[in-house]
Amino acid sequence: MANTQSLIEQLHRIVKDASRVIVDHESLVPFKSDYSSEGTTPLAVVFPITTKEASEILLLANQYKTPVFPRGRGTSLSGGPVPVVEGIIMDSTKWTSTLEIDPNNLIAVASPGVITADIDKAASKHGLMYPPDPSSLDIATIAGNVAENAGGPRGLKYGVTGDYVLGLEIVTPEGKVMKTGGKTMKNVTGYDLTGLITGSEGTLAVVSQVTLKLIPRPKETRTLSATFEDMTLAGNAVSAVLQNGLLPSKLEFIDQACIKAVEKFEPMDLPVFAEALLLAEVDGTGENVQKEIDEIALIFENFGGCVTVAKNETESNRLWKARKLVSPAIKALCSWKLSEDATVPVSQIPAMIKRLKTIGEKYNVPLVVFGHAGDGNLHPNLLLDKEDAGQLERAELAVKEIFQSALELGGTLSGEHGIGMLKSPFLKNEVGETGIDMMRRIKKAWDPNNILNPGKIFSADDNL
Amino acid sequence: MANTQSLIEQLHRIVKDASRVIVDHESLVPFKSDYSSEGTTPLAVVFPITTKEASEILLLANQYKTPVFPRGRGTSLSGGPVPVVEGIIMDSTKWTSTLEIDPNNLIAVASPGVITADIDKAASKHGLMYPPDPSSLDIATIAGNVAENAGGPRGLKYGVTGDYVLGLEIVTPEGKVMKTGGKTMKNVTGYDLTGLITGSEGTLAVVSQVTLKLIPRPKETRTLSATFEDMTLAGNAVSAVLQNGLLPSKLEFIDQACIKAVEKFEPMDLPVFAEALLLAEVDGTGENVQKEIDEIALIFENFGGCVTVAKNETESNRLWKARKLVSPAIKALCSWKLSEDATVPVSQIPAMIKRLKTIGEKYNVPLVVFGHAGDGNLHPNLLLDKEDAGQLERAELAVKEIFQSALELGGTLSGEHGIGMLKSPFLKNEVGETGIDMMRRIKKAWDPNNILNPGKIFSADDNL
């Protein structure tokens, strides 16, 4: 306790502004959770706004052997920023001083707490685009996106966060400041530490500045939706689009349960009798956009889809509204929503969808599926009743089988949510003991005191 | 000596086929060099063709504390595979058993020794493309490309090798076999070891299988060339193309000295009075290709360029021939060609070209410049006389100043050749002491006996 008191005094010494250190219990409580899970109430929350402060906080944490949990807006779906033991939350949300666009080099430089959507907005003023678009982009911080290597619908054509991180300024777990990568499109100077930090879930470094690649903003987009009476045909239609050399900017899938949930949540004449709804967006320039949307429409029709092409932006927004409301609509149906992101090779989408349905029935848990079908990244969601212990137990078994199915079909545990605390028990199934050992070696070499975000990625059982 | 004898016996025990173990001095000599530098004659060259053999060789090397130098075709321009001390060369060129295209998932799987161009050829049969195109693509192995994260002209639009590596099977420095990544487009399961291994120059793992992303093959390409009386205007024209939202598949630059060298090497009526020649290729579908080439032509003309648009493939090949002959042509002018790949942010290309010319004059060394102007990746080449010790000394100072200039302009030591042994003394200037320390920590954690490719990336002086 005396130790905690002294630690907090030291935090106040580093961060002079009292409003940037939280220690009262009531204010600390919200910081024990993210969008997926709950941990322990932290000792303190500190909001650094300079690299120097972040560095000094980590030096202090090493001195006190106290864990530090980096956090953005807490939108993680894998427990990423959740404190699993008592420690300090290092919150980046007040650290927003820098947001610079360099239109001559197609680059953005941002402080860790800058909101992702704000980067794209700033880029758009110069006719540029920052493509990664996780659902949380209006809330989440760029450092959070980097930590999780967040993806979104546009990942199909444009890739994920990591594909746009050219360089980082980071603070190492022991408080040293360094830069990785830079402002050039190509860089092979030593190990790719930029790539190693991206997606390392805050276990290897605190990101203090991000340098991002931007691209010319596509001049036009077109949207179509298609309903399918048969879900497998919808899955086959997705594969067919890609195999025909078409690359929509988005290609999203919603199953019947989601359609019904959205229609209940906000009636909009959705086809509740359809087994699946596909949404595709094409972007680019000139006649190619129209040509590509026509080709996709034709393929969808060949697989029995009933196609609607949006004639203008208003119609396009109306079509996308159904997809955007899926999460809130299914959340309204349950007291506990478990969102997974098992991902498979594109050709296995129909097989995976079938397996997911079977798993839901086998364990008798309400399971709905939506997601980024174009890159094989499905989001099976379990709609659970917090009070129903039996159901929660069955859900746990169902999740285990979902992961197993994804791996059996040549896929991965996580396409975009990360491992965090929720999937760490399953890591071994995908990367094997040697994989975990080699990852742990990096963690130990970089963070000998295990200060940064302990309890994430690796499971306690994996301490090989 | 007795120890070496026993080591060689053990190598024969692992690799039963005697033709896959070289130990006679004369046959060993070629393996002490790559395309850039020379090292020590190795003790033996061994050609594994299975993961098991590669693993056993590394186990043996750890037992004997003998370094292993992984090697492909030896086309490295930074000394990547050169043995700096006595050791075993592990040559992948006979390891070519697997080359599978999975058209349904847009994926290729290849053994380490498969030649890069063969992957693209196999992909093209399915209407697909493997975009990375280092100049050595007809000779180099895919594992060599992965080790160096090789790039090429198409890097501007399509990125480099690392952008296409979805997964690897690797043998760790201690001989353990593991897989990284997989067959999905998105994967955030634990640390991105695929990205860490790619570009690690054979210091962290031996690559035993590569899983690559393919893309739909663009249906059409168009080429134009433009000559400029003023080199700075050519540089500005490159920046203007990108700032106008155009993304050619290639955008190459050749300076006057290169033009003259090519014309001397093989007369083809090149404009020897022009200060610079730009070559652009656009790819895609339909009218957009023509539209884009027209827009580029207009921009080049606005900057004083004299433009020729190829009307057909024959004309296009003729235009590209000048670029392809640059390397052999300048090689013919000197006994020792030193090829650098200092890379700067695109907007700094004119400034970098000016500095390069000044450096050549200052140190009185013949310096020519060509390269991938579109992504800021220039190749200043020093044309040296092996016998002229004074010139070699001046060249060393010139190279130092080239690196310094790239860094001062916000660039990097290496855009695509790697650090190897040639640039290791300069690594600290870019990544700093902390950067080197954090890289070395990974190396030590993965390879405690320093078996894999010692003497690369890190300089002996950097042993922090």
Say yes or no: A464 contacts chain B, CB-CB below 8 A.
no
Say yes or no: A324 contacts chain B, CB-CB below 8 A.
no
What is the Cα gyration radius of chain A? 23
Q: Select from B188, B250, B294, B372 the residue whose CB has the most chain A CBs within 10 Å, as the one to mutate to test that interface.
A: B188
Q: Select from B55, B438, B452 the residue whose CB has the most chain A CBs within 10 Å, as the one to mutate to test that interface.
A: B438
Which residues 103-122 of A have a C-beta within 8 angstroms of B? 103-107
Of A187, A377, A427, the CB nearest to B412: A187
In contact, A125 and A174? CB cutoff 8 Å: no
In contact, B146 and B208? CB cutoff 8 Å: no
Say yes or no: A177 contacts chain B, CB-CB below 8 A.
yes
How confident is the model over B222-278, as pLDDT tens digits? Answer: 999 999 999 889 989 998 898 888 889 999 999 999 999 999 999 999 999 999 999
Closest CA to B235 of B150, B154, B356, B330: B356
Provide the phi-psi class of A26: left if phi over 0, else alpha when psi is between -120 and 50, else beta.
alpha
Structure tokens at B315: 């004309």
In the prediction, which pLDDT does A260 show?
96
Backbone angles phi, psi at B141, to 5 degrees: -90, 155
In the prediction, which pLDDT does B342 show?
85
- Average pLDDT over chain B, rounded to whole? 94
Residues in contact with B433: Cβ distance below 8 Å, sequence separation at least 6, in sequence order: B464
Which residues 379-438 of B have a C-beta within 8 angstroms of A? 410-419, 423, 427, 430-432, 434-438
DSSP string, A249-269: SEEEEEEHHHHHHHHHHS---
In the prediction, which pLDDT does A287 show?
81
Q: What is the distance between the terminal CA atoms of chain A, rounded to a whole angstrom?
A: 33
In contact, B96 and B213? CB cutoff 8 Å: no
How big is the A-B interface in CB pairs under 8 Å?
A: 270
Say yes or no: B125 contacts chain A, CB-CB below 8 A.
no
Residue A375: what residue type?
A: D
What dotted CATH number matches A220-408? 3.40.462.10
Contact B191 A442 (CB under 8 A): yes
Is the confidence at residue B13, as pLDDT, over 80?
yes
Per-residue confidence in pLDDT tens, chain A, 464 aa: 568 999 999 999 999 999 999 999 999 999 999 999 999 999 999 999 999 999 999 999 999 999 999 999 999 999 999 999 999 999 999 999 999 999 989 999 999 999 999 999 999 999 999 999 999 999 999 999 999 999 999 999 999 999 999 999 999 999 999 999 999 988 989 999 999 999 999 999 999 999 999 998 998 999 999 999 998 899 899 988 988 888 899 999 999 999 999 999 999 999 999 999 999 999 988 788 999 999 999 999 999 999 999 999 999 999 999 999 999 999 999 999 999 998 999 889 889 999 999 999 999 999 999 999 888 999 999 999 999 999 999 999 999 999 999 999 999 999 999 999 989 999 999 999 999 999 999 999 999 999 999 999 998 765 54
In the prediction, which pLDDT does B80 show?
94
Which chain A positions have a beta carbon within 8 Å of B413's beta carbon?
189
In the prediction, which pLDDT does A464 show?
45
| Domain B424-462, architecture per CATH | Orthogonal Bundle (1.10)
Burial (CB count within 10 angstroms: exposed 0-12, middle 13-18, buried 19+), residue A6:
exposed
In the prediction, which pLDDT does B458 show?
93
What are the start-end ranges of the E strands in B123-196?
128-129, 165-171, 177-181
In the prediction, which pLDDT does B179 show?
97
In the prediction, which pLDDT does A185 show?
87
**Per-domain residue ranges of chain A:** 1-217, 220-408
Residue B464: pLDDT band (50, 70, 90) is very low
Nearest CA in chain A to B412: A187
Say yes or no: A448 contacts chain B, CB-CB below 8 A.
no
Say yes or no: B342 contacts chain A, CB-CB below 8 A.
no
In contact, B279 and B223? CB cutoff 8 Å: yes
How many beta carbons lie within 10 A of that of residue A118, not counting itself? 17
How confident is the model over B355-393, as pLDDT tens digits? Answer: 999 999 999 999 999 999 888 999 999 999 999 999 999
Which chain A positions have a beta carbon within 8 Å of B149's beta carbon?
188, 192
Distance separating alpha carbons of residues A4 and B127, to the nearest angstrom: 64
What dotted CATH number matches A1-217? 3.30.465.10
Residue A247: what residue type?
A: L
User: What is the DSSP-derived secondary structure letter of residue A333?
Assistant: T
Burial (CB count within 10 angstroms: exposed 0-12, middle 13-18, buried 19+), residue A409:
buried
Of B196, B284, B431, the CB nearest to A196: B196
Contact B195 A200 (CB under 8 A): no
In contact, B457 and B439? CB cutoff 8 Å: yes
Contact A411 B182 (CB under 8 A): yes
Of B151, B189, B192, the CB nearest to A414: B189
CA distances to A5, A40, A62, A71, A87 from A2, in Å: 5, 20, 17, 26, 15
Backbone angles phi, psi at A147, to 5 degrees: -60, -40
**For residue A427, what is the enclosing H or E element?**
helix A427-446
Distance separating alpha carbons of residues B249 and A376, to the nearest angstrom: 27
Q: Select from A55, A104, A185, A403 the residue whose CB has the most chain B CBs within 10 Å, as the one to mutate to test that interface.
A: A185
How confident is the model over B275-328, as pLDDT tens digits? Answer: 999 999 999 887 889 999 999 999 999 999 999 999 999 999 999 999 999 999
Residues in contact with B360: Cβ distance below 8 Å, sequence separation at least 6, in sequence order: B366, B367, B382, B398
